[in-house]
Amino acid sequence: MDSPATDLSQKLSREAEAVCRQYLSNGRKHGNYWVVGDVDNTPGRSLYIRLSGPTRGKGAAGKWTDAATGEHGDLLDLIAANLNLSTLRDTLDEARRFLSLPRPEPPARQPQTPVARGSPEAARRLWAMGRPIAGTLAERYLSARGLKGLRSVGALRFHPNCYYWREDADVDDAPDAWPALLAKVTDTAGTLTGVHRIWLDPQTAEKAPLDPNRKAMGNLLGHAARIGSPTDILAVGEGLETMLSLRQALSSLTVAAALSGNHLAAFDPPADRRRLYVAIDNDGAGQAAFDALVERFADSDLHLLPLRPMLDDFNGDLRKCGIDEMRSHLRPQLSPVDVPTLPAVETG
């Protein structure tokens, strides 16, 4: 049986053009697509929405891609981003309103079976409780670090009261609760295996005064937080902010944050990849992780190319040097075959 979200997504796909005219009125029809600037209804030609096709699967009506950011989704995702809706419930309610459908009766609440703290199942439950980052403390935190235009990124969510278990707490002590930025950790198939949390100060939108103020849970080995649509070009590095900064400069680049030097060394790239960029933080751990990857894939066809920042990491480059200088620094490090596929480099 399909979920309510899947059912509504299919119903919306049958009315794809009407959805576009309602929420993206500054766009226009071009063949089998509705073309507009972005999910915020800005005039332009970057966002393409398919208007006809099957209700699910390849070529489905309602599927969209933003060529400028690489983000994509279905019409439910589009409505949520367009209206800055913070929960799935609000998004489904808006879809039903558009389709003139009644709201269903709530199902009887079933108690959840307890799961081990820090397990992949606990990570899945935490992720399900997150909301889009638009208008939240998480968006403020990222914006303050020079990271903008991320509200439609599906791999990021916000949790207003995320448990924090102190390292020195007794077994019977209750956890603290702080707002947190969540990042989804997945395997190469896109299956959620873990969640990365960055706890935030609700007053300043900076990192919370905790030690440590970031932790990951679930199955992390070989996996990463991935930002962007699957393409032939992938860059992997350590920190989430570092890799988001790299993608800010090279907007067509798909990036993966392995979340630590040790996990970077153990990263499993897609099996069909022939070229992998590795963002190396300017420290011993970053170089050691790159060296370990080179040794792991010495006998394979995978070609590893380092990307080195000007300062400590790419977020430092973005904040202190600016995006134009960052692009100029990155361009000579790219394989010539990749430069034409990354138009942001051309304008730097």
Beta bridge partners of 47: 36, 66
For the cut 70, the answer to whether the pLDDT of residue 111 exceeds it is no
- The sign of the CA dihedral 272, 277, 283, 287 is positive
Q: State pLDDT tens for residues 261-277.
A: 999 999 999 888 888 99
Q: How far is it, in rounded angstroms, from Cα 324 to Cα 336? A: 19
For the cut 70, the answer to whether the pLDDT of residue 348 exceeds it is no
Beta bridge partners of 256: 226, 236
Dihedral, 281, 285, 286, 287 alpha carbons, nearest 10: 120
Q: How far is it, in rounded angstroms, from Cα 164 to Cα 92? A: 30
Q: How confident is the model at residue 31 (pLDDT cuts 50, 70, 90)?
A: very high
Residue written as tokens 């935030």? Answer: 200
248 vs 172, higher pLDDT? 248
Residue written as tokens 């994509």? Answer: 72
For residue 273, what pLDDT is reported?
82
When the pLDDT of each residue in the chain is averaged and rounded to a whole number, the result is: 89
Which range is most confident: 102-106, 332-336, 338-342?
A: 332-336
Q: Where are the alpha helices (DSSP H) in 154-210?
A: none
For residue 282, what pLDDT is reported?
93
For residue 170, what pLDDT is reported?
63
For the cut 70, the answer to whether the pLDDT of residue 15 exceeds it is yes
Q: How confident is the model at residue 171 (pLDDT cuts 50, 70, 90)?
A: low
For residue 105, what pLDDT is reported?
66
Say whether 153 sits in a helix, a strand or coil. coil
- Is there a contact between 309 and 325 (Cβ–Cβ < 8 Å)? no
Q: How far is it, in rounded angstroms, from Cα 192 to Cα 178? A: 23
- Is there a contact between 183 and 155 (Cβ–Cβ < 8 Å)? yes
For the cut 50, the answer to whether the pLDDT of residue 344 exceeds it is no
- What single string gives the DSSP state of each residue in 59-84? T-TT-EEETTT--EE-HHHHHHHHHT
Nearest to 159 by CA among 187, 178, 185, 143: 178
Q: How confident is the model at residue 213 (pLDDT cuts 50, 70, 90)?
A: very high
For residue 165, what pLDDT is reported?
85
**Distances from the Cα of 280 to the Cαs of 5, 211, 305, 306, in angstroms?**
40, 24, 10, 7
Tokens matching residue 244 = 């988001």
**Distances from the Cα of 142 to the Cαs of 11, 153, 246, 256, in angstroms?**
35, 12, 14, 17
For residue 197, what pLDDT is reported?
98
- Looking at residue 226, the DSSP 8-state letter turns out to be E
User: What's at 99, amino acid-wise?
Assistant: L
Strands (E), 67-190: 72-73, 156-164, 176-186
Count CB atoms within 10 A of the CB of residue 39.
26
Q: How far is it, in rounded angstroms, from Cα 173 to Cα 163? A: 12
For residue 108, what pLDDT is reported?
59
Q: State pLDDT tens for residues 132-155.
A: 998 899 999 999 999 998 988 889
Nearest to 279 by CA among 211, 341, 213, 233: 233
Q: How far is it, in rounded angstroms, from Cα 54 to Cα 165? A: 47
Q: Is the pTM of this model over 0.85?
A: no
Q: State pLDDT tens for residues 219-245.
A: 999 999 999 877 778 999 999 999 999
**Distances from the Cα of 121 to the Cαs of 73, 77, 125, 323, in angstroms?**
25, 24, 6, 39
Q: How far is it, in rounded angstroms, from Cα 134 to Cα 157? A: 9
Beta bridge partners of 221: none
Q: What separation, in Å, do the N-terminal and C-terminal C-alpha atoms of the chain show?
A: 49
Q: How far is it, in rounded angstroms, from Cα 142 to Cα 158? A: 12
Q: How confident is the model at residue 343 (pLDDT cuts 50, 70, 90)?
A: very low
User: What's at 68, amino acid-wise?
Assistant: A
